[in-house]
Structure 1
Amino acid sequence: MDFSNNILETIGNTPLVKLNKVVAEIDALVLAKVETFNPGNSVKDRMAVKMIEDAEADGRLQPGGTIIEGTSGNTGMGLALVAIIKGYKLICVISDKQSKEKMDILRAVGAKVVVCPTDVEPTDPRSYYSVSKRLALETPNSWYVNQYDNMSNSLAHYEQTGPEIWKQTDGKITHFVVGVGTGGTISGVGKYLKEKNPNIKIWGIDTYGSVFKKYHETGIFDENEIYSYITEGIGEDILPKNVDFSLIDGFTKVTDKDAAVYTRKIALEEAIFVGNSAGACIKGLLQLKEHFKPDDVVVVLFHDSGSRYVGKMFNDDWMRERGFLEENITKAEDVIKDHIDKELIVVRTEELVSHAIDRMRKYKISQIPVVDINGFVGSVDETDLFRSYVADKNVAEKPIKEVMGKPFPIVQLGTPIEEVSKLFTKENDAVLLDLGNGNHHIITKYDIIGSIK
């Protein structure tokens, strides 16, 4: 009989699959190392086992102990599998930008999940780095994994992933391309492959909002490069010890939109359902296409499963809200189609300024049309009200007609978006769309900006 003694024995030996349509522009053989075939559906299963086994061996992790880790979800899943089999408790500290699916899956496999804000500095006590360290200090018989600086991470890929790729390509691999987060995969695989053939090129995929590319090229850790981004699993605002920059030949950065769009393309054009970082890798490959020749063998690693992004990249509403969905925005109604059914908020000429302010707060809006019995006669916006308040602290008790500006221009259904855009000026921040039957809807600068692709 052919069987595994437990699920951990099924980790590794993932398939190498030729990519076709999605890399049609690349004049080389492109092969994907599809790590979703691991039982935890990601490449992180490999290093989770290695890190725990090494910690057991040197006494850092004791029987019945608690494993604590800051994770984007995939490492947590790998650790959870090992924790179940070996009898450990697990606390996963995760940032709030990670998908709900990842959080739900971690809870489903017995992990306690602690969610931290994304938009804070790594040293902030609320960051998932800081919270992980604090919990490790406060929890008896616990071990803080620290995948970023735990060198068992890259060692797992040096011992397993690198040799697999070398064997599967019969040593013909010329380029290895992979998203970089903790750095374990690119450094471990890169070290093994370059020992086999120093001419193999190792390329890292980075994201805007991360420090890797500039640091690799200049040696400068530029904090101005750090800002919030959507793409999960790649990029960092720190320099993990696992990232061996000497092994990496170069980086290319991919936008959040391109990563999301190409994640969907992989599913639609290759029938491979993988995650967000895979989309970033394919777009990165296309950005690097001039580096590849017809005889080259390019291996790109797909980190995780698309099932962890069903509520994000594979959800049309989520994509549309961020302007990631490729749609033709040509007419006035196109830019407000997601909220065209909402009631138009207005204020009447004889109402007080305080009433307009209350409505702005309640509905979180910045402009309001002013009406009387004859129709639209004026407008107010938060800038005008602020100026009026600075000039007169009692303005809140004055009628709207004393502070209102000119009425917003009105356009008809079908008006080209180019014509609508021309109506926005320094003096005018909104346009009204006539929906017919006496109904109108407001179009703001925010709506126009949100429609830009």
Structure 2
Amino acid sequence: MPARVYDNILQTIGNTPLVRLNRVVADLPCKVYAKVETTNPGNSIKDRMALKMLEVAEKEGKIKPGGTIIEGTSGNTGMGLALAAIVKGYKCIFATTDKQSKEKVDILKAHGAEVIVCPTNVEPEDPRSYYQVARRLQTEIPNSWYVNQYDNLANRLAHYEQTGPEIWEQTEGKVTHLVVAAGTGGTIVGTGKYLKEKNPNIQVWAIDTYGSLLKKWFETGELDMGEVHPYISEGFGEDFLPENYDRNAIDHFEKVTDKDGAVMARRITKEEGIFIGYSAGSVIAGLRQLKDRLKKDDVVVVIFHDHGSRYIGKVYNDEWMLDRGWLEVDTVRDLINGLGRRRLVTIDHDAKVADALALMKKYDIEHLPVMNGLEMAGCVSQGSLFKMFIEQADVKDQLVADVMDKALPVVSMDTPLERLTNFINKDNGAVLTRDESGQFTILTKYDILNAFSKG
């Protein structure tokens, strides 16, 4: 059967694959499948509801041809709306928060949207919040439509009509658990409602984050602003209650820390080969926290909401992870302990280049620190000397001080190995480190590469 040809990109939304997970859930007693929503044209599940909300608004006359779509978005809904706007001929203005990744903002702009970045740490009712900025713009701009994905029930309708039926069909009705990161409520309520109509015994588990009030609301019915505080996780959790929520469609809420979600997202990408976003990591972390509730014959479906490319500057950036203490890495001290103590071979600054070459040959080393008394004065290397020999044959008779490069960088013993790439590059092939007794050790790029290859 030939592949289908589409009239426009919006027709490719939906019918996403269901993929079995293996390594990250190897110790769970049951089968776990991921609904991989990254294959939507906007690389997220939000394409589904973005198009649905727009279609409903068009039918209801809330937006006319050539109008402007206005929304407060963490990025993915905006992407879906931007795609629909391009095909249908609308303009887009999006308000977002300053905690969202730069990649999300840049992607929205690349698709022709105007993006207004608002502060995160303000109350939803604050006129500076992205919710209120979007509402205000709708009153100021003629022929504009404020989407309001949080209270727009076409959001959950999209998942009731599409995501739920797809999961039911793909699992041949065998699904027993649905696990979803809960944000606007559209995905979990719409999908959960459909599946529960098919089988009331299906368990629907919502993943929340610390700093969100949703879990306590679900358990007590109380909207406790004392639960609300800034959090780093993106795309789920809320500081108010969207109208898309229906407690009857959900069986349990589970909170996951910012760190656990980020670490698990990286694991999924490395161990399953599925490049996913922050919320997907949180979903698997939350599922693992609940593994004692699972049985051998259960069939769990988790939603992988969006693509890892949205988080290159955050979750998938080693520096960002290290700054938060979330990346468990070896340090220079660990590397040195593994290598064993090695004699640091040096040469005096007033020695001849010929003497330096002899030492390099004797000890089979590439980098030779240059000393001036007790101070590190510079460094000579095989690479730099080789270039000099090409240009001048008598370089062997010159003083080391006249040909040496700048001294090698000195790094702390507690420096993570990942950060050594800031110091070791094509122009500088080694670093020095000094222990508490004052003894220097040299580490070359080959030491670092060997350490990474063993990891």
Same fold (TM over 0.5): yes
Per-residue deviation at 1:414?
6.6
Corresponding position of 1:363:
none
Deviations 1:226-266 (A, max 9, x none): 00001000100010001112211001100000000000000
Out of 76, 88, 94, the residue aligned to residue 90 of structure 2 is 88
The CA deviation at 1:330 is 10
- CA deviation vs aligned residue, 1:199-242 (integer Å, no higher than 9, x gap): 00000000000001111111111111100001000100010001
**2:28 counterpart residue number:** 26
Tell me the distance in 2 between the aligned counterparts of 1:214 and 1:328: 39
Does structure 1 conserve the Cα–Cα contact (< 8 Å) formed by 2:331 and 2:413?
no
Contact kept, 8 Å, 1:41 with 1:304, in 2: the verdict is yes
* Partner in structure 1 of residue 13 of structure 2: 11
Whole-angstrom CA distance in 1 between matches of 2:95 and 2:324 = 26
TM-score, normalised by the number of residues in structure 1: 0.73
1:384 alignment counterpart:
none
Residue 217 (structure 1) aligns with: 219
Q: 1:256 to 1:53 in 2, by over 3 A?
A: same
3-state SS of 1:82 partner: helix
Q: Percent identity?
A: 65
Identify the match of residue 53 of structure 2 among 51, 71, 86: 51
The answer to whether the 8 A contact 1:25-1:286 is kept is no
1:153 Cα deviation from its structure 2 partner: 0.1
C-alpha displacement of 1:435: 8.9
Secondary structure (helix, strand or coil) at the match of 1:182 reads: coil
The residue identity in structure 2 corresponding to 1:149 is D
Give the match for residue 182 of structure 1: 184
Q: Residues 385-442 of structure 1, C-alpha deviation per residue, up to 9 Å, x if partnerless?
A: xxxxxxxxxxxxxxxxxxxxxxxxxxxx879xxxxxxxxxxxxxxxxx97959xxxxx
1:248 alignment partner AA:
I
Secondary structure of the residue aligned to 1:235 is coil
Aligned to 1:296: 298
Give the partner amino acid of 2:305.
H
| Local SS of the residue matching 2:62 | coil
Deviation digits for residues 159-199 of structure 1, max 9, x if unmatched? 00000000000000000000000000000001100000000
The amino acid of 1:10's aligned partner reads: T
Cα 1:9–1:435 shift into 2, 3 Å: farther
- For 1:270, the equivalent position in structure 2 comes to 272
In structure 1, stretches of 5+ residues that fail to align are 335-412, 416-432, 438-453
- Max radius of gyration: which structure? 2
| Partner SS for 1:295 | coil
> What SS is found at the alignment partner of 2:328?
coil
User: Counterpart of 2:385?
Assistant: none
Per-residue CA deviations over 1:68-120 (Å, capped at 9, x if unaligned) read: 00000000000000000000000011100000000000000000000000000
Distance in 1 (CA, whole Å) between partners of 2:136 and 2:56 is 22
Structure 2 residue ranges without an equivalent (≥5): 337-411, 415-434, 440-455
Alignment of 1:268-417 (within 5 A): 268-327=270-329
AA matched with 2:12? T
**What one-letter code is carried by the residue in structure 1 that aligns with 2:227?**
E
Structure 2 partner of 1:399: none
Q: Which amino acid aligns with 1:48?
A: A
Secondary structure of 1:299's counterpart equals strand
SS at match of 1:94: strand
State the alpha-carbon separation in 2 of the partners of residues 331 and 212 from structure 1.
44
Q: 2:253 corresponds to which residue?
A: 251
> 123, 126, 131: which one pairs with 1:124?
126
What is residue 393 of structure 1 aligned with on the other side?
none
The match for 1:194 is 196
**Alpha-carbon offset, residue 307 of structure 1:** 0.4
In structure 2, what residue type is equivalent to 1:76? Answer: G
Matches within 5 A, 1:425-436: 436=438
Post-superposition shift, 1:294?
Answer: 0.6
**Conserved? CA contact 1:207–1:256, under 8 Å:** yes
Contact residue 53 and residue 155 of structure 2 kept, 8 A:
yes
Q: Within 2, Cα distance between the matches of 1:249 and 1:327?
A: 38
What is aligned with 1:150? 152
Instruction: Give the structure 2 partner of residue 68 of structure 1.
Output: 70
2:235 to 225, 228, 233: 233
1:258/1:5 CA distance change after superposition, 3 Å: same
Give the residue type in structure 1 aligned to 2:264.
Y
Q: Distance in 1 between matches of 2:150 and 2:120?
A: 17
Confirm or deny that 1:205 pairs with 2:207: yes
